[in-house]
């Protein structure tokens, strides 16, 4: 399906993949990133990247690191992330990626658990965080900073600025080390919605073949442009936004930030986008806000365009018959859909959504407007891609069909099981946890509940551990309910609770801007602390919330609500770095409020 990608059998390893790419297209642009000093976009060829990889390998060699030693990286997405990773992999080292916004205590725990001897950071604005990590970590020997930090106080002799460190290593002989496909390439710590994160051991073979299988799922051309903004510490971005483009020979452009993503989409005009549902949810929310301000006619035109565009999509997929309303699609496309496509750069061919479930309603809007979204499914433990929709077989409510080379079956309790050469070696220094998820036949037990339709498409129907069992025995998977409620822009974040209780309740974070507007509509003082706790206000909010749950069974209805304006975030420990709710921590934080929701029943 793809023109001459590098075959894993030829590359053998991730460092071998880089060498093959360098040999094939040395002077083709590999990466583009924004240079803040010159305020311009800088392009780097594969040859230029290879030169830098050699410099970094010389410096790593000078640190007396041996094959199998771990080195950690805490950078935003940039070419230096790739350079460091390739330098380490080529020497047989093991990369441990850290999230840039992770808490210092958690980052230090990961460094010590993995036994990482060296840490690469950006440096300029991280001095306080890195100082805390260095002070806490028992095993870290060296910290390399890409940029000189603003303040050098409290830094230990372990610290070095990258350019000085690299210059000092010039002329150091680089040993030729044999790197095998089954060697450990990375320890990726799961973001863990409960307890301490576990270190997922991924080999060269795991990730290389996952990139290859992913390349077979769409018609990638030779000149694709990927816009990278998900953290490279997230396995989806690392495989699909780094190793996959390298395999294809595609250009990767690093977005400046999430805040500037809208501008970067216009400037870069990518053909491939790898994202998580939260990005689409935010865009959807902004569209709804705009339509609300424009009034009824704009909303009617928009809804008509989505309806006709969706029918056009279903017709092209062979799931709907032709209808006369399709004659209006060229005009509606010009009036409505093309404007949305232009906001995404105007050239987007493939928009992958993964990492969490994408609401079918939101998928319908974007696909109805011609945005080619393909939902997939994966886990860190599977490198990560397990299944994905294809251009000629796209059912947005599903997670697609298994990728080539990946086996899937539905086990006991409807659990999705998968087996392939992409399944991890195990959890670092945790054989008990490994044995709990990988059985004797090599099947990885995902913990997700799924079903498969007659076409072979998979659907996630719940998570075994997240299922809420009411005191009458009814079982409620909260994910679909939460997704439905979040279609209302007033509810920024929502968590359904009720384990062992007679009914369901909810903890909610309200969107501050929409809260102001809603209060104004109802002649309420949004700034008064007691407005949120007023019983009449609470009943109105519950009524608004339950309006989104009409399609759910009677027992799957929310009876009570606790609302706050304080967001759940990574910083306050209530979200994982991939923006998933830490349900246990949220329930613990709001234990008193949750008890009140059930106190008189």
Please write the tens of the pLDDT for every residue from 491-520: 999 999 998 888 999 999 999 999 999 999
User: In this predicted structure, what is the pLDDT of residue 286?
Assistant: 86
Evaluate whether residue 446 is within a structural domain. no
Number of domains into which the chain is organized: 2
Q: What CATH number corresponds to the domain at position 524?
A: 3.30.300.30
First to last CA, the chain: 60
Task: Give the structural domain span for 50.
Answer: 8-272
Question: Is 120:146 a contact under the CB 8 Å cutoff?
Answer: yes
Boundary (domain end) residue, out of 272, 299, 320: 272
Boundary (domain end) residue, out of 256, 272, 288: 272
Structure-token pair, residue 441: 């036949």
Evaluate whether residue 398 is within a structural domain. no
Structure-token pair, residue 365: 């809007």
Evaluate whether residue 585 is within a structural domain. yes
User: In this predicted structure, what is the pLDDT of residue 1?
Assistant: 45
Evaluate whether residue 27 is within a structural domain. yes
User: In this predicted structure, what is the pLDDT of residue 2?
Assistant: 47
Residues of the chain with pLDDT under 50: 1-2, 153, 193
| Residues in CB range of 234: below 8 A, 6 or more apart | 355, 577, 578
Evaluate whether residue 523 is within a structural domain. yes
Q: Give the Å distances, CA to CA, from 128 to 19, 155, 516.
A: 38, 10, 36
Boundary (domain end) residue, out of 255, 272, 289: 272
Q: Mind listing the pLDDT tens digit for each residue in 286-329?
A: 898 889 888 889 999 999 999 999 999 999 999 999 999 999 99
Question: Is 423:399 a contact under the CB 8 Å cutoff?
Answer: no
| Residues in CB range of 379: below 8 A, 6 or more apart | 386, 444, 446
Q: What CATH number corresponds to the domain at position 147?
A: 3.40.50.980
Evaluate whether residue 372 is within a structural domain. no
Q: Which residues of 304-331 are buried (b: 16+ CB within 10 A; e: fewer)?
A: ebbebbbbbbbeeeeeeeeeeeeeebee
Is residue 585 classed as helix, strand or coil in its secondary structure?
Answer: helix
């Amino acid at each position: 399906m793809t023109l001459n990608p590098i075959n894993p059998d030829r590359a053998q390893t991730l460092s071998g993949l880089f060498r093959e790419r360098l040999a094939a297209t040395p002077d083709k642009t590999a990466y583009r990133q924004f240079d803040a000093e010159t305020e311009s976009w800088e392009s780097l060829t594969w040859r230029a990247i290879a030169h830098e990889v050699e410099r970094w390998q010389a410096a790593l060699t000078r640190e007396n690191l041996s094959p199998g030693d771990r080195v950690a990286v805490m950078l935003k997405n940039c070419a230096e992330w790739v350079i460091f990773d390739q330098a380490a992999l080529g020497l047989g080292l093991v990369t441990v990626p850290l999230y840039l916004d992770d808490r210092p205590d958690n980052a230090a725990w990961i460094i010590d658990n993995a036994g990482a001897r060296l840490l690469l950071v950006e440096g300029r604005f991280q001095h306080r965080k890195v100082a805390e990590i260095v002070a806490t970590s028992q095993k870290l020997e060296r910290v390399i900073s890409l940029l000189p930090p603003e303040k050098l106080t409290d830094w230990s002799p372990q610290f070095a600025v990258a350019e000085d460190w690299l210059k000092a290593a010039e002329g150091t002989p680089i040993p030729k080390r044999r790197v095998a496909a089954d060697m450990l390439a990375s320890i990726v710590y799961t973001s863990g919605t409960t307890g301490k994160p576990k270190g997922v051991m991924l080999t060269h073979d795991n990730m290389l073949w996952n990139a290859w299988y992913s390349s077979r799922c769409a018609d990638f051309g030779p000149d694709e442009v990927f816009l990278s903004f998900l953290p490279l510490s997230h396995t989806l971005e690392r495989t699909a936004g780094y190793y996959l483009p390298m395999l294809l020979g595609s250009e990767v452009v690093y977005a400046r930030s999430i805040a500037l993503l809208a501008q970067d989409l216009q400037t870069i005009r990518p053909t491939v986008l790898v994202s998580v549902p939260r990005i689409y949810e935010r865009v959807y929310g902004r569209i709804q806000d705009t339509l609300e301000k424009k009034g009824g006619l704009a909303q009617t035109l928009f809804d008509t365009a989505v309806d006709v565009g969706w029918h056009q999509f279903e017709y092209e997929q062979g799931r709907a018959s032709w209808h006369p309303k399709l004659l209006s699609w060229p005009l509606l496309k010009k009036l409505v859909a093309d404007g949305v496509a232009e906001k995404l750069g105007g050239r987007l061919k493939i928009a992958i959504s993964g990492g969490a479930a994408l609401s079918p309603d939101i998928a319908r809007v974007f696909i109805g407007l011609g945005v080619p979204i393909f939902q997939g499914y994966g886990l860190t433990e599977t490198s990560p891609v397990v299944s994905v929709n294809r251009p000629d077989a796209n059912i947005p409510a599903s997670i697609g069909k298994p990728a080539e080379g990946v086996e899937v079956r539905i086990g006991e309790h409807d659990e999705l099981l998968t087996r392939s050469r992409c399944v991890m070696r195990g959890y670092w220094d945790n054989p008990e946890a490994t044995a709990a998820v990988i059985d004797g036949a090599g099947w990885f037990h995902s913990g997700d509940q799924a079903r498969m339709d007659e076409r072979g498409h998979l659907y996630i129907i719940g998570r075994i551990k997240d299922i809420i069992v009411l005191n009458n025995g009814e079982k409620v998977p909260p994910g679909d309910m939460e997704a439905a409620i979040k279609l209302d822009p007033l509810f920024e974040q929502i968590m359904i609770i009720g384990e062992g209780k007679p009914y369901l309740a909810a903890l909610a974070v309200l969107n501050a801007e929409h809260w102001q507007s809603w209060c104004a509509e109802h002649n309420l003082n949004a700034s008064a602390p007691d407005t949120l706790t007023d019983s009449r206000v609470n009943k109105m909010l519950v009524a608004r919330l339950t309006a989104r749950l009409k399609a759910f069974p009677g027992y799957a209805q929310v009876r009570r609500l606790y609302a706050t304006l304080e967001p759940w975030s990574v910083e306050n420990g209530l979200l994982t770095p991939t923006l998933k709710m830490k349900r246990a921590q949220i329930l613990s934080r709001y234990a008193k409020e949750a008890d009140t929701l059930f106190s008189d029943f």
